[in-house]
A and B are shown apart, each in its own frame.
Chain A
Amino acid sequence: DAGVIQSPRHEVTEMGQEVTLRCKPISGHDYLFWYRQTMMRGLELLIYFNNNVPIDDSGMPEDRFSAKMPNASFSTLKIQPSEPRDSAVYFCASRADRVGTGELFFGEGSRLTVL
């Protein structure tokens, strides 16, 4: 398997624009997670899905952020409108195990810069 695939790897946009980040989890993994990494806050959990259903979105910072998982092989994280403080690396991760002690497999991240 190719692992978790994220796109784009880099995105530079202007404040106010819509940003869509994409993720393809490892086939057969039932859990999908979105994390955000910044120097100040480290690796923050934004939202996660089980079998395409959002389980906990309490980490989503504002209503400007939304995430969907229309099928088992695709998820999106959307920011509309984007702001400079949204600049960060966004990671998608997937897990096969139903229990939380299973290994998380991360993608290589999407680096977002909002000017």
Chain B
Amino acid sequence: GENVEQHPSTLSVQEGDSAVIKCTYSDSASNYFPWYKQELGKGPQLIIDIRSNVGEKKDQRIAVTLNKTAKHFSLHITETQPEDSAVYFCAVLNQAGTALIFGKGTTLSVSS
């Protein structure tokens, strides 16, 4: 089945710095790559996604890049703020294309 590896598992940055989280997937047929953010005590929430026909997508301070050849995609957060502190999950679709398979998550801590 589909597999997705996420790194790093924890990331600590100073407020204002950039943060990058990377995911690697195994199925070359994958075509949809979302990122979810989980705040403490809450369920994950979609923050950005990208489809395989584009290489990059931006939404204010967050961006996702995709390298289909290397089978990896990354989340970039610029000018980090304390409220960016959360657990971030990447995901890919299962082989049936009907359910998301999540990475193990990255705990991001932004200190002021």
22 contacts between A and B (CB under 8 A): A4-B43, A35-B102, A42-B6, A42-B89, A42-B104, A43-B89, A43-B102, A43-B105, A50-B98, A55-B96, A56-B96, A56-B99, A91-B43, A91-B44, A93-B43, A100-B96, A100-B97, A100-B98, A103-B46, A106-B43, A107-B43, A108-B41
- Distance of A104 Cα from B101 Cα, bound (Å): 12
Among candidates A41, A55, A91, A99, residue contacting B104 with C-beta atoms closer than 8 Å: A41
- What mask results when residues 88 to 102 of chain B are scored 1 for a CB within 8 Å of chain A, else 0? 010001101111111
Contacts of B97 in A (CB 8 A): 99-100
Q: Is the CB of A45 within 8 A of B43?
A: no
Question: Number of A residues whose C-beta is below 8 Å from B?
Answer: 24
Contacts of B51 in A (CB 8 A): 101
Residues of B at the A interface (CB closer than 8 Å) are 6, 32, 36, 41-46, 49, 51, 89, 93-94, 96-105
Number of A-B residue pairs at CB separation under 8 A: 63
- Distance of A100 Cα from B94 Cα, bound (Å): 9
If over half of A's interface residues share one DSSP class (helix, strand or loop), that class is named, otherwise mixed; here it is: strand
Q: Is the CB of B104 within 8 A of A106?
A: no
Q: Is the CB of A45 within 8 A of B100?
A: yes
- What mask results when residues 22 to 39 of chain A are scored 1 for a CB within 8 Å of chain B, else 0? 000000000101010000
Residues of A at the B interface (CB closer than 8 Å) are 4, 31, 33, 35, 41-45, 48, 50, 55-56, 91, 93, 99-101, 103-104, 106-109
